[in-house]
Structure 1
């Protein structure tokens, strides 16, 4: 299905570029997906530091909650078999990975696992080394230090809340507690104006809109429904609409322009796809290879 979606995207792109508007003159911003997953182990301090060195505008990341209510960087609420080793250095099978549930572990237990030494099967160019899952606060502190030491502007943070309604109480707390814990940590470090909060979960975004209206919110989308239908389900106009890049089309940008919504596609990795997406008036591009995006932007603008 994924390959079919990409073929449809390429076909529609040819039609769109020939009959809609001229190539975009807007210089897109660059977001390092999970730091820079194609280069360094995902959602780790070295990956975020490398992304800063490359020159990203935004660090994209995922957060989950530990048993002791710490905000931990992780794409899954368990130790993914593709990237994880037990504290004893043993391989975690795909069938057993969900039993390594971060919400049932304290952070002291979580940081004993390694998430960087395994060769990633889908990112063969990734440099591997021993590393643990950090806390969100660890990321804020590292970024501040690196930017201060190098006299560079601090990037923004695009933080995904990974809530799945059916998993409340099993892999994460209820929606209000989840949102509160994440926002409390952001407030602790004074990052409100530098943070975008994103989620696929409609209820999470509604809670954030009601309780914490100061934040920019992004609706993540992985379906072929229209942008109008997806936002209608959300119930309000978000700051950004963030679809899988294969679902970009003229209607998305017409709606976005009319309603002043930023478009932030993910996860754009191949050079040809990056070039095509750069033809659209996107606000930002999320990529596992932010170096590729930065290099291509430099050749165009």
Structure 2
């Protein structure tokens, strides 16, 4: 399929999701600084079919790729290379900063104890638009097949208009970038916040959505809250059972758990019949697929 090799993927048809979806969590968090362009390239190098990432909005309404509401004091450095004291972290809320300022922070040079294999390098929080451009160019230059983008909206009710826009404006800003870059068929929007998914479903019903789940409620309860059946049900891997997988499949949903970081856990998930895996260690997923 020639469309798979282009720098701007063909937007007419929605391609099928991978038979078994290999997702690099925050790119390749176990190996490279999370949610950075180098992490996405590493995931591509290791054969991932989907790049998983987190979206935030800046004060000047730019869509950036970052997980936390604030610069994380565990690994972020200020523009002058200093560590951020834990008690000062809330001074650095992304939604209260313009992108020009955000870009000057270093999120890759400092040792991150949770991920000792992570390669250290100077890295910054990227704009989604720049990340897409870089990924598409990298795919083309290396003759790699088109990947999917699984983008999480980092929002919750308590943070509205303090840590992020309201759901409607969050989705509007995100989809402006996605549509401008012509990658809509290759995008999945995921969230723990049912409000952003509900708005996606109303305004962009053609875009695939994924409900992230970490609560102990039943599948039925979570779908009732959401109000529709998403493309993907994405629970914490510890919540996955064969019964849950069967129920989801019967409803036409795929099951893609997070965050599965050991070979043993990967094998357990596969035995339960999941449709893909989100992992901090794409190298483990790559080994499994060989």
Supply the distance in 2 between the matched residues of 1:231 and 1:205 (Cα, whole angstroms).
12
Supply the distance in 2 between the matched residues of 1:208 and 1:28 (Cα, whole angstroms).
25
Residue of 148, 165, 171 corresponding to 1:173: 165
Supply the distance in 2 between the matched residues of 1:132 and 1:179 (Cα, whole angstroms).
23
Supply the distance in 2 between the matched residues of 1:67 and 1:200 (Cα, whole angstroms).
22
Deviation at residue 29 of structure 1 after TM alignment: 1.8
Residue 150 (structure 1) aligns with: 142
Deviation at residue 27 of structure 1 after TM alignment: 6.0
Q: Secondary structure at the match of 2:249?
A: helix
Structure exhibiting the larger radius of gyration computed from Cα positions = 1
Residue 164 (structure 1) aligns with: 156
Structural mapping, 1:200-219, within 5 Å: 200-219=192-211
Residue of 84, 94, 104 corresponding to 2:96: 104
Supply the distance in 1 between the matched residues of 2:243 and 2:227 (Cα, whole angstroms).
19
Q: Does 1:63 align with 2:61?
A: no
Q: Normalising by the residue count of structure 2, what TM-score does the alignment of the two structures yield?
A: 0.92
Q: Does 1:89 align with 2:81?
A: yes
Supply the distance in 2 between the matched residues of 1:121 and 1:97 (Cα, whole angstroms).
18
Residue of 278, 287, 290 corresponding to 1:295: 287
In 2, are the aligned partners of 1:192 and 1:215 still within 8 Å (CA)? Answer: yes
Deviation at residue 251 of structure 1 after TM alignment: 2.5
1:104-141, Cα deviation, whole Å (9 max, x unpaired): 11100000000001111110111111110000011111
Supply the distance in 2 between the matched residues of 1:155 and 1:212 (Cα, whole angstroms).
20
In 2, are the aligned partners of 1:35 and 1:51 still within 8 Å (CA)? Answer: yes
1:10-66, Cα deviation, whole Å (9 max, x unpaired): xxxxxxxxxxxxxxxx96220000000000000001000111111100000001000
Deviation at residue 293 of structure 1 after TM alignment: 1.2
* Corresponding pairs, count: 273
Q: Does 1:271 align with 2:263?
A: yes
Q: Secondary structure at the match of 1:117?
A: coil
Structural mapping, 1:191-206, within 5 Å: 191-206=183-198
Supply the distance in 2 between the matched residues of 1:294 and 1:282 (Cα, whole angstroms).
16
Gaps of 5+ in 1: 1-25
Supply the distance in 2 between the matched residues of 1:239 and 1:154 (Cα, whole angstroms).
20
Q: Does 1:52 align with 2:49?
A: no
Residue of 124, 135, 138 corresponding to 1:132: 124
1:82-125, Cα deviation, whole Å (9 max, x unpaired): 12001111111222112101111110000000000111111011
Supply the distance in 2 between the matched residues of 1:171 and 1:39 (Cα, whole angstroms).
28
Residue 233 (structure 2) aligns with: 241
Supply the distance in 1 between the matched residues of 2:280 and 2:71 (Cα, whole angstroms).
20
In 1, are the aligned partners of 2:35 and 2:125 still within 8 Å (CA)? Answer: yes
Q: Secondary structure at the match of 2:22?
A: strand
Supply the distance in 1 between the matched residues of 2:62 and 2:19 (Cα, whole angstroms).
37
1:232-251, Cα deviation, whole Å (9 max, x unpaired): 11111111000000000133
In 1, are the aligned partners of 2:242 and 2:272 still within 8 Å (CA)? Answer: no
Deviation at residue 224 of structure 1 after TM alignment: 1.8
Residue of 57, 73, 97 corresponding to 2:65: 73
In 2, are the aligned partners of 1:143 and 1:154 still within 8 Å (CA)? Answer: no
In 2, are the aligned partners of 1:226 and 1:252 still within 8 Å (CA)? Answer: no
